[in-house]
């Protein structure tokens, strides 16, 4: 059967309210695993979890998914992504932050608008194939590609980010920050930014049965005036949304803010009434004890991009932030959109960071899974509806094939999966009760066409960059 015919058949089956029942499957939650049960999905909700022999007869005519050798896990929630950065894979991971390697040409400047959307769609494809069901796309000016992106079927949080500091273009680099003039706040840019947030919210929030959400964001701590911070927070409060910002991601940011604004970034945000329990602040790498106490006291959530942080050679003080009261969620940031690998890096790097009397016992894989699922659901203000596999919750879930040489035998599946699992173990992905990938075939996007096109564009761009001059790669000195 062709993919279009298959898609139509499945869409029409679900439109008629045909249930999906996973049989003889393991249902895996951070608080425990139920083996050899059935899980029924009716409409967009988990309708039943129980013995296969009792659940199957309760859903006559259901689409039966044989779950033997499979585990169901709540879909992963990526709380911080910049999807278009897929273009810069192989460049952005290895040269610190901001990127210290000066390329002769900026790769993104060689893309047309359509090609940029293509890079974003490749990121969405990767997210689906690696088990993500919800994704926060943090960027300015999302409107031009909101249509194609939401067609991916992912639960998309379109996070429109804004800035109003005319004297700082973007994230500060260590060599230039000391010479930058004081902030020049632009009411015009602030108003235009808030208008973009408002327009995107009006056009998209709640679309696709609530699968699309629009959240506001202040782009960076160092590019946000107190008025901008209050406006973003005010919009989020008025519409009961989450909101975000890049916070304390470099020494240069901290130094600039202390020099020109007289406060470290978290204190500046606190004074501007920005901290709070619906803020999920990205990074929080360079924190002192006061910073940590402020975030904890205000119950500010942390979106922890463990892979990117480790690439930058810095791990945020996650143990101290947890202890202070800040919930943790996970994100990918740039280049890769594989949250499975982030769970593993977060687990291992936090163990290195902790100062426990008996090292190597905390956090547990159950904790990493909870950060990646329920922690993310909390950031989306959806923890009552998403983040665990429970009757009554929305069916955002993934099917993992456990019959792998690195997953069997396993005394404890969650541990085996977080330590050893591979993205290709993710066999199917369901969002809002609908399969968007089944048996490794993505049903919402044309994977082969996207890959062929992105490969072609990527090669053209990188060949041009390389032709413009040499790219020196530093290497370790060997004795
Ligand atoms: Zn970011």
Taking a C-beta distance cutoff of 8 angstroms, is the pair 24, 6 a contact?
A: no
User: Is the confidence at residue 393, as pLDDT, over 60?
Assistant: yes
Closest CA to 297 of 320, 325, 266: 325
Q: Does the pLDDT of residue 403 top 80, yes or no?
A: yes
Distance of CA 433 from the midpoint of ligand 1 (Å):
30
Mean pLDDT value of segment 45-49 = 98
pLDDT number for residue 82: 98
Tell me the percentage of the chain whose pLDDT exceeds 70: 96
CATH class of 76-379: alpha beta
Residues lying with their CB under 5 A of ligand 1, a single-atom ion: 333
Average pLDDT of the segment spanning 34-40: 98
Distance 109 CA to ligand 1 centre (A): 19
CA distance 399 to 27: 10
Side-chain half-sphere exposure of 123, counting CA atoms within 13 A: 33
CA separation for the pair 236, 216 (Å, rounded): 7
Domain ranges, ordered by start, for the chain? 3-74+394-442, 76-379
- pLDDT level of residue 15 (50, 70, 90 thresholds): very low
Residue 47 has pLDDT above 80, yes or no: yes
Res 16: pLDDT? 53
> In angstroms, what is the span from residue 333 Cα to ligand 1's centroid?
5
* pLDDT confidence band for 1 (50 / 70 / 90): very low
Question: DSSP class of residue 394?
Answer: B
Q: Where are the alpha helices (DSSP H) in 298-422?
A: 306-311, 318-324, 339-353, 365-370, 376-379, 413-420
For 277-286, write each residue's pLDDT tens digit. 999 999 999 9
Q: Is 87 exposed, middle or buried (0-12, 13-18, 19+ CB in 10 A)?
A: buried
> Per residue in 256-265, pLDDT tens?
999 999 999 9
Whether 248 contacts 206, CB under 8 Å: no
- Tokens linked to 19: 């249930």
Cα-to-chain-centroid distance, residue 145? 18
- Report CA torsion sign: 295, 300, 306, 311: negative
Rounded distance from Cα 207 to ligand 1 centre (Å): 25
d(CA 216, CA 183): 22
Domain 3-74+394-442 in CATH 3.40.225.10: no
Give the residue-averaged pLDDT of 79-89: 96
Distances (CA, A) of 59 to 66, 148, 430: 15, 34, 19
Q: What is the pLDDT of residue 13?
A: 47
CA of 332 to the centre of ligand 1 (A): 9
Is it true that the peptide bond before 409 is cis, omega within 30 degrees of 0? yes
Could you tell me the distance, in angstroms and rounded to a whole number, from the CA of residue 279 to the centre of ligand 1? 15
Residue in this structure with the two tokens 């902030």, named with its chain if needed: 183
Q: What is the pTM of this model?
A: 0.95
Ligand 1 centroid to residue 331 C-alpha, Å: 9
Sign of CA dihedral 123, 279, 296, 384: negative
Kindly report, residue by residue over 128-159, the tens digit of the pLDDT.
999 999 999 999 999 999 999 999 999 999 99
């Amino acid at each position: 059967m062709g993919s279009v015919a298959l898609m139509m058949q499945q869409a029409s089956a679900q439109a008629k309210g045909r249930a999906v029942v996973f049989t003889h499957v393991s249902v895996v939650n951070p608080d425990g695993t139920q083996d050899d049960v059935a899980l029924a999905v009716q409409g967009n909700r988990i309708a039943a979890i129980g013995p296969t022999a009792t659940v199957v007869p309760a859903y006559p005519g259901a689409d039966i998914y044989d779950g033997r050798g499979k585990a169901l896990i709540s879909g992963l929630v990526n709380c911080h992504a910049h999807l278009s950065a897929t273009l810069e894979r192989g460049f952005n991971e290895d040269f610190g932050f901001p990127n210290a390697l000066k390329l002769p040409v900026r790769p993104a400047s060689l893309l047309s608008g359509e090609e940029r959307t293509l890079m974003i769609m490749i990121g969405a494809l990767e997210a689906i194939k690696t088990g993500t069901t919800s994704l926060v796309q943090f960027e300015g000016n999302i409107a031009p590609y909101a249509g194609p992106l939401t067609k991916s079927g992912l639960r998309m949080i379109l996070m429109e980010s804004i800035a109003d500091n005319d004297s700082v273009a973007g994230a500060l680099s260590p060599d230039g920050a000391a010479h930058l003039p004081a902030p020049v706040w632009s009411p015009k840019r602030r108003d235009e930014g808030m208008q973009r947030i408002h327009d995107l919210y009006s056009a998209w929030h709640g679309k696709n049965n609530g699968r699309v959400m629009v959240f506001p964001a202040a782009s960076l701590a160092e590019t946000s005036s107190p008025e901008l911070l209050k406006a973003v927070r005010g919009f989020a409060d008025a519409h009961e949304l989450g909101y975000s910002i890049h916070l304390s991601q470099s020494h240069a940011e901290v130094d600039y803010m202390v020099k020109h604004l007289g406060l470290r970034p978290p204190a500046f945000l606190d004074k501007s009434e920005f901290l709070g329990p619906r803020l999920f602040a990205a990074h929080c790498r360079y924190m002192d004890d006061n910073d940590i106490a402020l975030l904890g006291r205000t119950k500010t959530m942390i979106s922890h991009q463990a892979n990117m942080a480790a690439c930058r050679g810095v791990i945020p003080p996650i143990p101290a932030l947890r202890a202070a009261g800040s919930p943790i969620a996970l994100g990918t940031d740039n280049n890769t959109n594989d949250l499975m690998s982030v769970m593993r890096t977060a687990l291992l790097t936090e163990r290195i960071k902790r100062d426990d009397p008996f090292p190597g016992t905390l956090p547990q894989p159950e904790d990493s899974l909870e950060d990646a699922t329920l922690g993310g659901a909390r950031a989306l203000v959806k923890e009552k509806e998403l983040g665990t596999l429970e009757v009554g919750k929305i069916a955002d879930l993934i099917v993992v094939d456990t019959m792998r040489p690195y997953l069997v035998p396993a005394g404890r599946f969650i541990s085996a999966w977080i330590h050893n699992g591979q993205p290709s173990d993710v066999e199917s992905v369901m969002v809002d009760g609908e399969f968007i990938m089944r048996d490794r075939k993505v049903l919402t996007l044309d994977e082969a066409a996207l890959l062929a096109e992105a490969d072609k564009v990527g090669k053209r761009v990188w060949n041009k960059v390389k032709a413009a001059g040499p790219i020196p790669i530093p290497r370790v000195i060997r004795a």
